Amino acid sequence: MKETLSKQWLANIRHRIIKLSAPKPSSWPLRASVTTKLPHGFPFPAKLSVSGVNDSLRNAWTGWRTFLVPGDRPFFPPELIMQIKAIACELPHQSDQPLSRYSGQDLVREVTRRGLVASISGRTIWRWLDADAIRPWQHRSWIFPRDPNFQTKAERVLDLYQGVWDHQALSPNDYVISADEKTSIQARLRLHPTVPPQPHQVMRVEFEYERGGALAYLAAWDVRRAKVFGRCESTTGIEPFGRLVKQVMEQEPYRSAPRVFWIVDNGSSHRGAAAVQRLQGAYPNLILVHLPVHASWLNQVEIYFSVIQRKVLTPNDFPSLQAVADRLLAFQQSYELIAKPFEWRFTRTDLHDLMKRLSDRTSAAIAA
């Protein structure tokens, strides 16, 4: 039997060399990969799929895997690749799997359990998914827009980032401020000193610590000038936020500017019509612009807060709460020396595309 298979392999090799070396018309389709023919009269045992349909085609795929020329990559039909990608796009619980998400090996087990292939490597599946940027083992959290005026409110903010208000260009003397609070910044007093980086050794930070208290960092980012104002407070609230507004609005050029737009979220420190009356009553040239509910990602000051988190607060290793405040304010001053306006690329057009996708997804979910 081995001798017979060996002769067939040699014959197939000669056949392929002759065929592949011959000139090909441009209309011939490219071959996905090189395969061999099965031995003449090879029997396929009857087998039913999970759904009860005859599985002769899947058995054929098994046969192709079994009689490959040594060193050749196995051939998988496009239909199979599509089916496996479809499984990767399913939620595991839809197939009664006790999983929250698939890993590569989970997919290997699932496709073999369903009888799609006799065997397959995780790397092969990964290569197919990578081609379509499908990552079933990854996830991210998000909040579905639930503000009834989400698009209208978001468009006003995006227009300000583009230098527009009520369809009119802002003047050079108008200013746009993005403001928020970073709450509950702890001072973690490590029980052993941090060891600086050494050759072949990263910085080492003691796991155990004592709590040294917490503070809030309030910041206002000038979107057009790349200037930042900040202060540390023991807590957030109407009065601490009022002190931040005063810190900005009582100095030039904001004090005498025709308009100073303040972009804020819906936190209790600056929520609703009461905040508008309070702040615009104190500063007639201030215009308070509220983001949609759960849309802090549209607030540019959050980008600055992410810089603070990476460069100042991680790892959290401080001898006291005052040291946290000192480092935050010192970083604020040094950051201004190199800061440039953020390259904000999310526009009205992107927002409209996002809202359409969400609408289509909601309609599909309702129809299902």
pLDDT at 360: 87
pLDDT at 358: 86
Residue keyed to tokens 């988190």: 309
Helix (H, G, I), strand (E, B) or coil at 29: coil
Distances (CA, A) of 56 to 36, 44, 52, 117, 358: 18, 7, 12, 12, 41
pLDDT at 288: 98
User: Quick one: tokens of 152?
Assistant: 């209208």
pLDDT at 3: 54
CATH number of 150-349: 3.30.420.10
Q: Which residues of the chain have pLDDT under 70?
A: 1-74, 368
pLDDT at 66: 39
Q: Tell me: the pLDDT tens digits for 270-285?
A: 999 999 999 999 999 9
pLDDT at 53: 42
pLDDT at 4: 54
Distances (CA, A) of 101 to 119, 188, 343: 21, 35, 34
pLDDT at 142: 77
What does the alpha-carbon distance between residue 229 and residue 61 come to, in Å, rounded to a whole number? 65
- Report the DSSP pairing between strands 168-169 and 164-165: antiparallel
Q: Where are the alpha helices (DSSP H) in 162-271?
A: 238-249
Q: Which residues of 305-338 are buried (b: 16+ CB within 10 A; e: fewer)?
A: beebeeebbeebbbeebeebbeebeebbeebeee
178's enclosing H/E stretch is: strand 175-190
Q: Where in the chain do CATH 3.30.420.10 domains reside?
A: 150-349
User: Quick one: tokens of 207?
Assistant: 């796991």
How many CB atoms neighbour CB 136 within 10 A?
Answer: 21
Q: Which of 40, 38, 88, 33 is nearest to 60 (CA)?
A: 38
pLDDT at 145: 83
